[in-house]
Structure 1
Amino acid sequence: MDIGVLLPTGTAQWAKDDDPRDLITLARTAEHLGFTSLFVNDSLISPRVEALTMLAALAPATNTVTLGTGALLPFLRRPVQAAQSLASIDLLSGGRLTLAVGAGYPGRFGRPFYDLSEVPWARRFARLDETVALWRALWNGADSFHGEFHRFTDLPPALRPYRPAGPPVWLAGATPTALTRTGRLYDGWLPYPPDPADYTTGLHDIREAATAAGRPPEAVTPALFVTVRIDEDPDHAHRATDDYARAAYGMPLAELEKIQAVVTGTAEQVTERLNRYVTAGARHLVTRLAALNLPAQREQLERTAALIPDLHP
């Protein structure tokens, strides 16, 4: 099992007197406590430290943890320049970068970003897949690329990542077409289904798609993005997570729980509920801590770390 944590890079998760530079301290603490990965989000929905900037800062400040995106939105960046930035982070971290990517989705969490980026909303999934294919081609020394959205005939030599094939790329999505694309094209899967049974079904479909594409089913890392809050009082945990949902998403917890995996309660309750996803097949948990200032994030980090020995297949 790999257990990771999403760093609170958004200002909605900070108190007024929090110092954003303490994110580096929090990351080092997570590594010391036994977390095996540090993830950052990528969004324009609220002010936040830009994802690749945060990972570049973490590369020399950490030693062994995987550095990941959960999830990167490639359409926010020019694709060739993004490939260069990602290769740079992989080099500076000694090959510790993992990329979960997504195309956004309808509503205020997706389509307005396309307008700001001057990228068409139509065929966004095909654009995402082709952008990842372009990155991989650049990382492998291609001097040209001819796709539907990106066409280059004289590409200059690109910076090569630490690993010859480049960092692994996961897909964040759980629609039927996303599952098929994950099995055919991606190295991992990072969804957040509220029901562990849906995780089991999705993973089965991914593995079938991988086999049909001539890939071994184990080529796809089964990960999970899950919001966690641990308290001695389950009611307090629920109220604190509701506050978090309203601050981060502008919606009550009751609505967020319908679309995302959320686990709250005592340490014993959270362990039991997380292990339901492990039983469903998840092998890399990316936990987002439901706390609204950096000291509270530190407390939840320590509480979650204490569960690590009890999370196993």
Structure 2
Amino acid sequence: MDIGVLLPTGTALWGPADDPRELVALGRHAERSGFASLFVNDSLISPRIEALTMLAALAPATETVTLGTAALMPFLRRPIQAAQSLASIDLLSGGRLTVTVGAGFPGRFGKPLYELSELPWERRFARLDETVALWRALWDGADAFDGDLLRFTDIPPTTRPLRAGGPPIWLGGATPAALARAGRMYDGWLPYPPDPADYAAGLRDIREAAAGAGRSAEDVTPALFVTVRIDDGADGGRRALDEYARATYGMPLGELARIQAVVGGTAEHVVEQLGRYVAAGVRHIVVRLGGMDLRSQRDQLERVAGLIPALRVAERGDPVGRG
């Protein structure tokens, strides 16, 4: 069981006096506190530190944690340039990069970004899969690529990552088509379903697709992206999460919780709820902290760090407790 944390790179989660350079210190603190990974997200909708820039800053400042994206949207970047950047981060981090990718979804988080990137919304999933295939080919030394949407010849030598074949690439999303694609060609799965039963069903479909492609269940890391807020009382946590949902998504908590995994309340309640996902098969939890400035983010990070032993107990199938 690995427990990671999403760093608050978006300005909506900074206080008026916060210094964005504190994000690197927060990442180092998370590593010392027992977290196994540091993730960043990717968007053009709200101001934020660009995802790959943040990972490049964290690479020499950390030693053991996995550095990941949750999720990178490749269509925002030229595909060969993105392959170079990702390989560079993998080298600078000593081979600690994991790349979760997504194609966006309808609404303000999807089609408008394609227009800004001067790419068609149609066939976006095929474009995503081809981009990943291109990256892997470049990381293996290919000098040409011939896909349905992406075609390149006479590619000059490109930067090669530390690991043969490049960093693991996970897929976000939980539609039937996404589950099938995750099983066939991706190294991990990072969704955020609000119901652990849906997670378990999706993981079964992924493993069936993997078996059909001649892969084993161990070839796909089962991960979870979940927003967490720990408070001494349930009411305080719910109010804080509602403020978080409105600031980051422009919607109340009740609406957000219908489409994303959100867990709040006392430490015991959070362990119990996350334990349901662990029982459903999750083996890498990426926690998005429900804090509205860097000070509260650090407080939540420390609270969640205190739950790591209990979550590892839950993985073993023992009764869930706080340690």
Q: Scaled by the length of structure 1, what TM-score is found?
A: 1.00
Aligned to 2:91: 91
Deviations 1:172-196 (A, max 9, x none): 0100000000000100000000000
Whole-angstrom distance in 2 between the partners of 1:126 and 1:189: 17
Matches within 5 A, 1:6-155: 6-155=6-155
Aligned to 2:292: 292
How far residue 44 of structure 1 moved from its aligned partner, in angstroms, is 1.1
Question: What amino acid sits opposite 2:270 in the alignment?
Answer: V
Matches within 5 A, 1:157-236: 157-236=157-236
Question: What amino acid sits opposite 1:158 in the alignment?
Answer: T
Question: What amino acid sits opposite 2:187 in the alignment?
Answer: D
Whole-angstrom distance in 1 between the partners of 2:297 and 2:187: 30
Question: What amino acid sits opposite 2:130 in the alignment?
Answer: E
How far residue 217 of structure 1 moved from its aligned partner, in angstroms, is 1.4
How far residue 79 of structure 1 moved from its aligned partner, in angstroms, is 0.1
| 2:16 maps to 1:3 | no
Aligned to 2:237: 237
Question: What amino acid sits opposite 1:253 in the alignment?
Answer: L
Question: What amino acid sits opposite 1:113 in the alignment?
Answer: L
Whole-angstrom distance in 1 between the partners of 2:109 and 2:247: 15
Aligned to 1:279: 279
How far residue 149 of structure 1 moved from its aligned partner, in angstroms, is 1.2
Question: What amino acid sits opposite 1:185 in the alignment?
Answer: M
Deviations 1:208-249 (A, max 9, x none): 000000011110000000000000011000000000000000
Q: Secondary structure at the match of 1:61?
A: coil
Whole-angstrom distance in 1 between the partners of 2:22 and 2:143: 41
Deviations 1:250-282 (A, max 9, x none): 000000000000000000000000010000000
Deviations 1:116-148 (A, max 9, x none): 000100000000000000000000000110011
Deviations 1:80-104 (A, max 9, x none): 0000000000000000000000000
Question: What amino acid sits opposite 2:166 in the alignment?
Answer: G
Whole-angstrom distance in 2 between the partners of 1:131 and 1:32: 35
Q: Secondary structure at the match of 2:57?
A: helix
Question: What amino acid sits opposite 1:145 in the alignment?
Answer: F
Whole-angstrom distance in 1 between the partners of 2:56 and 2:122: 32
How far residue 158 of structure 1 moved from its aligned partner, in angstroms, is 0.9
Whole-angstrom distance in 1 between the partners of 2:130 and 2:106: 21
Whole-angstrom distance in 2 between the partners of 1:286 and 1:303: 15
How far residue 107 of structure 1 moved from its aligned partner, in angstroms, is 0.3
| 2:278 maps to 1:248 | no
Percent identity of the aligned residues? 73
Whole-angstrom distance in 1 between the partners of 2:179 and 2:171: 9
Q: Scaled by the length of structure 2, what TM-score is found?
A: 0.97
Question: What amino acid sits opposite 2:108 in the alignment?
Answer: R
Unmatched runs of 5 consecutive residues or more in structure 1? none
How far residue 109 of structure 1 moved from its aligned partner, in angstroms, is 0.9
